[in-house]
Structure 1
């Protein structure tokens, strides 16, 4: 019996459905987290929101890449990693600005928003689990979401410490750590993408 390509089409359909759901959830949480971070004067929440926005971008690129060539997928993963790297550096710059000029983060907003983001990201991570061993552009989306879960936990911890110590510095520290973690994930994705690009050329 010849291969009609039906399995491949079905696989692409499942991937699209998962990525569309992940895209919608992350875009919504990026907006919610960004507004909450601004209101709460929290670098941790703002960093988390930027991370969610980068995820939404990665899912969009993943959707575009489905069914394309291996080289296109490798380039899509490289673009995702580059965007994440820029956002990570931007977070560190914002943390530095707030340390210099001061801020009074609101712990209740930090904890509440981060808990909501954590629930969303754990759900998305479970949906993306089958894709983590897939092609390079799909692995990138799973890595993005894994970074989000770590960031959410960090913001919750920062909120608790801000409340307990009555100091903004836990928020600054967590914001900086999230920025550094985002940069680490970006480097990992870029390395994966470079390997895929070499394989595609070969």
Structure 2
């Protein structure tokens, strides 16, 4: 007695197309930034370029995960391959942490040895401006898809962080051109690392929440229980569980005790339809499974 969720999120072909376009933009700007960083001597620009590389890696992972997640369910994986998105997001989060540590170490080295720092502010400004435009375009492309896919969300977060990083590099370049204070390059590098870490931790927290089968954020179990109990013919509910396969794919199960007369009058199908419609309409749960029981049959889960 259940209802199945439609394919959503990154599994859609449209989202994969957007990821591909974003990957092309990111890869192109990465090459330009690496060349610009070498020619200008800017650590901030090089850090932004490495972040671009991580963005490209995140997008590649997202595309690979989308191809895997689009595979249909089978007898060994009855929910399909939707969790591939979560593992892709896990890799993205770890890469973000590693990147931020590398940026911070290099920035501290430059701050400790300012005499060895030589930065061409003009070239740094031009390259950073190109990166800003490319990141803005990628964010616009991914803004809608990231709401329904945790893996696209990971790629979106990386591009957003790189957009802010490019803006900070532009500010540092202007400071260097106006004052000659080359340490601004290292300071901005530290700021880029500081912007990355909280978003990476947030992404990893969401990933671990999915993998630990925690209740999805914003979903109140007691409210769901109240809606079920308000359904005509329902006497009690127990063994209620709600988790998610990935972002935007919640799953719900419950044992529902139904009034004895409902079995005699043949209203079981109507009650089941009401319950599934309630979960879908009020809580956006498209995959729900109910075990309907007689009032005299109560089989509690070991955890309750």
TM-score, length of structure 2 as denominator length: 0.61
Pairing of 1:169-184 with structure 2 (within 5 A): 169-184=183-198
| Number of the residue aligned with 2:40 | 40
- Which residue of 1 is the match for residue 107 of structure 2? 95
Q: Which has the higher helix share?
A: 1
Distance 1:11 1:83, change over 3 A: closer
CA RMSD of aligned residues (A): 2.2
5+ residue gaps, structure 2, are 70-80, 214-244, 252-304
2:124 is equivalent to residue 110 of structure 1: yes
2:15 aligned with 1:15:
yes
CA distance 1:183–1:133, shift in 2 (3 Å): same
Retained in 2: the 8 A contact 1:131–1:142? no
How far has the Cα of 1:11 moved from its partner? Answer: 6.2
The answer on whether the counterparts of 2:88 and 2:151 sit within 8 Å (CA) in structure 1 is: yes
3-state SS in 2 of match to 1:79: helix
Greater strand share, structure number: 2
Per-residue deviation, residues 75-115 of structure 1 (Å, max 9, x unmatched): 11010110111011111111122233421111111110011
| Relative contact order, higher structure (CA 8 A, sep 6+) | 1
Task: Report the Cα offset of residue 185 of structure 1.
Answer: 2.1
What pairs up with 1:118-197 in 2 under 5 angstroms?
Answer: 118-197=132-211
2:265 maps to: none
Change (3 A) 1:156 1:10: closer
Corresponding residue for residue 85 of structure 2: 73
Structure 1 CA distance, aligned partners of 2:8 and 2:146?
17
Within 2, Cα distance between the matches of 1:147 and 1:77? 15
C-alpha distance in 1 between matches for 2:149 and 2:140: 17
- Distance in 2 separating the partners of 1:62 and 1:72: 9
1:86 correspondence with 2:98: yes
